[in-house]
Structure 1
């Protein structure tokens, strides 16, 4: 795909060459980094291409080594989705809480350099003239930066591009950032809803790598994102959560409903970065919790997620996180990920139904019933993979996650009766306690959101579900509790060097020191 930076450079060059052929002073002195209305209107490329780049870099699409650091070697592992057989840095690395600061810059750098910068460029050009492009930039920006906030806590959002007299750029506390996310989503939803109601032209279609310019779909995604963030803060800020959640639930254009609504970015012809990590580098394998939960439930999604080992057609093995690995060969034969197509998935319609199920537990208006939403969430996830028989699964009230056995090292086993092994079944039980209902919802939501590890990690921290296995080796030096699991990443080293005064102020908004053991604002556990 053509880079918007190359496109802009071409336009700038053309302007400069054209002005060199005339003697008119105003053209000679025209700012080569600006574009007039006619140039913007020509094909909207100068507004749209930056947003294409922003979508592509929600998870960097063309740089697997950076994508590995952006998400795979933190959230994908911390969420219990995957584990690496590779003993990086002498087996002292993020997977066992030996946090590597040079790794932990990537989520921040990609979000700001490749997404926030692109969205800001479009918004500067679109403000007051092209409300549709402005609103789409708002939604993409929230999708990117809420993920960053859910990694570190404080983020640069409302102060982006505003340089103080001391050369610092201020952060928003996580609470302030979330309130700003809600405001921007509300404004964007209102803008695009008006476009839908008026049958306005879809000028964004050529640049939309998700919904091909369908504003209705973007509003449904924004509503679901608003509900996701409302549920996220429901423990710490129930009044605001209810207000924002009900606004999303009551919106006439609704939420994501079916697999065709899934928010996934088409990166074709580039292959999914996880395919490179898994098959070219052999750095990614199935996790132990995935083996335990999917095999225990006899979940028909298992072969759609992972490959059997060489041990047989139905033999799956996952690696427990944070174990002692001396050589890659010990565990590289464990289950590989099924190869992904050219789409990077960030939100499923199934997630929307599980969000509604939890909202129903809290009595939010417009949520419906938890039981119906729970069942629809599972069936929607099954539909995503072409699995037709969901009733047997929904009515299963006996299967539970399996004990875990590491065939390489019994010290890593999780036996039956271990407190970290869930006993939750699948079938909905209206008489169950609130916590049991929540565990059912989040466990099935966790299965359905795969492979979106960032969201899965956030929900595990918020709820404690599904039950995961603690690390065996903890190299944090006591800064991260083995039993409480990792809660965040420390502030990026790059920011500590380039923006130290603001980082110091940002750290003061945390609940504790700038370590992986300090809980985020919304994290009540």
Structure 2
């Protein structure tokens, strides 16, 4: 039976955004309410497109269920977890990847991620049809919006492939044409979809700067107002698009290196981010009643403990934080325990049961920092930096993530990055540390309560650099490529952690790193590896003929196309809990 008892109904999601919607209508063109001063609906359609939930802005309902039971992507990927003991008897089905009683993909398949990825891209179709009918300067003023709307479509479809594999693509987003072919599009080969997206991304990188220069001065002014992400900075858009292209090329390189390598080198010669790419909404995040992901995080603080596979790579000495011995990111990523130190949760439930029964408990919520600090025997993710940060920006890309992408390219000789893989690893530590201290300082929650602990000063550059050198040395000394990939992916888990769990799950499935803790339940030791999510049931009803052709993929055990042949069947778990 499905674990419905775990779920609390998500009430009136649309209502949570009503105040925000009214505010955005005041600030931006409302495409449904033209007036005498508004002659072009395209800018407003663009703003609505990039601020829609489930595209760049993460969604409350999705995140509520992503964390709640501990049996979805964050739990199985060991990105975040409950403090599990035998009182949570539903984990007795943890090894089940078939019935739905174990691995739970409801946050995706049951929260309309698939459907919304098409319906919320409807503005792309409207922008496309409108701009293509224009001529002269009016067309040039709309072309940048069309190119960026096209990018949003490409970006989201790449994510769909990463989750579902085959998706409707080549005949999708063309509903205006009518006809069954476009209203109920066929499912396309995922590799062909990826290659088409990569080619189109390359085209955007090459043509977007010129399109921007051809906009009239008045149109550029409007674009700066409507572009809530980068405030009209076309160079940031180009860099982000090329970053997205490079990431997809590294993924596909594992199954078609000959195709990917020349394109990777081409992408390395084009603009890439030179700063962290984030942006803020026009309102402060409401973690108690808003519609973004942090409300889901706030309401499930008890499912956001830091697993040992991350904590053991942050905290190396005793359990306290010791600058120079431990990772400098530890005190801004983790909440200290009642012991005034940092301790992760384990997948060894037999051992953890004994700790729980001995009185090592926790305060389940993120509403009282004093209770959390005095009660928690294990470290949750920081309520300051994450759960209660009302100024948390929307994540697009960071230098730390780019550094790790470049490290893999250098390690696997996929292109010339100009540095060694080890140098990129060190760069990541430096950039990532700056990023996470920046996010921590954006918060205002519990200011004045142990600020030295909850809002620590960033360590000196010398300390951070020395730690980066330490990780670089370990990386260089690692004997094999897989050993080096283990260290690289450990760093990716530390850097992206709870901020980007879908990205980490994709990378875990693609690389089979980092290794996870085996799940010990009584006398059983399990190592489950879900590979993908189910299609939504509505596809069986609405698009049955085309769905029938991919029905054999509708499970959680078939790998995504980009998993290399030599990694399929590899189960990325440690044999024990010793942490080599």
Is 2:278–2:395's contact at 8 Å kept on the other side of the alignment? yes
Instruction: Give distance in 1, aligned partners of 2:131 and 2:250.
Output: 31
Task: Determine helix, strand or coil for the equivalent of 1:345.
Answer: strand
**1:154 corresponds to 2:166:** yes
Is 2:118–2:173's contact at 8 Å kept on the other side of the alignment? no
537, 540, 543: which one pairs with 1:496? 540
Is 1:149–1:174's contact at 8 Å kept on the other side of the alignment? yes
Runs (5+) with no aligned partner, structure 2: 1-19, 317-324, 365-375, 438-457, 568-580
Compute the displacement of 1:249 (Å): 0.5
Residue of structure 1 in register with 2:269 after alignment: 250
**1:455 corresponds to 2:474:** no
Compute the displacement of 1:178 (Å): 0.5
CA root-mean-square deviation: 3.8
**1:433 corresponds to 2:483:** no
**1:347 corresponds to 2:397:** yes
**1:385 corresponds to 2:429:** no
Is 1:209–1:266's contact at 8 Å kept on the other side of the alignment? yes
Q: 1:121 to 1:288 in 2, by over 3 A?
A: farther
Residue of structure 1 in register with 2:470 after alignment: 396
220, 231, 253: which one pairs with 1:212? 231
Is 1:192–1:219's contact at 8 Å kept on the other side of the alignment? yes
Moved more, 388-397 or 234-243: 388-397
Residue of structure 2 in register with 1:408 after alignment: none
Instruction: Give distance in 2, aligned partners of 1:426 and 1:96.
Output: 40
Runs (5+) with no aligned partner, structure 1: 19-37, 398-424, 475-480
Compute the displacement of 1:377 (Å): 1.8
Task: Determine helix, strand or coil for the equivalent of 1:295.
Answer: coil
Instruction: Give distance in 1, aligned partners of 2:513 and 2:185.
Output: 36
Is 1:66–1:106's contact at 8 Å kept on the other side of the alignment? yes
Instruction: Give distance in 1, aligned partners of 2:311 and 2:532.
Output: 25
Compute the displacement of 1:455 (Å): 0.8
Task: Determine helix, strand or coil for the equivalent of 1:189.
Answer: helix
Compute the displacement of 1:471 (Å): 3.6
**1:132 corresponds to 2:152:** no
Written as runs of structure 1 = structure 2, the 5 A alignment for 1:202-281 is: 203-251=222-270, 254-258=271-275, 261-264=276-279, 266=281, 268-271=283-286, 273-281=292-300
**1:57 corresponds to 2:54:** yes
State how many pairs are aligned: 459
Instruction: Give distance in 2, aligned partners of 1:111 and 1:323.
Output: 41
Task: Determine helix, strand or coil for the equivalent of 1:491.
Answer: coil
Q: 1:484 to 1:57 in 2, by over 3 A?
A: closer
**1:119 corresponds to 2:124:** yes
Instruction: Give distance in 2, aligned partners of 1:70 and 1:173.
Output: 28
Report the TM-score, using the length of structure 2 for normalisation. Answer: 0.69
Is 1:306–1:336's contact at 8 Å kept on the other side of the alignment? yes
Task: Determine helix, strand or coil for the equivalent of 1:385.
Answer: helix
Q: 1:112 to 1:454 in 2, by over 3 A?
A: same
**1:187 corresponds to 2:206:** no
62, 65, 80: which one pairs with 1:66? 62
Instruction: Give distance in 1, aligned partners of 2:528 and 2:171.
Output: 33
Instruction: Give distance in 2, aligned partners of 1:505 and 1:303.
Output: 50
Is 2:314–2:327's contact at 8 Å kept on the other side of the alignment? yes
Instruction: Give distance in 2, aligned partners of 1:278 and 1:431.
Output: 36
Instruction: Give distance in 2, aligned partners of 1:442 and 1:193.
Output: 34
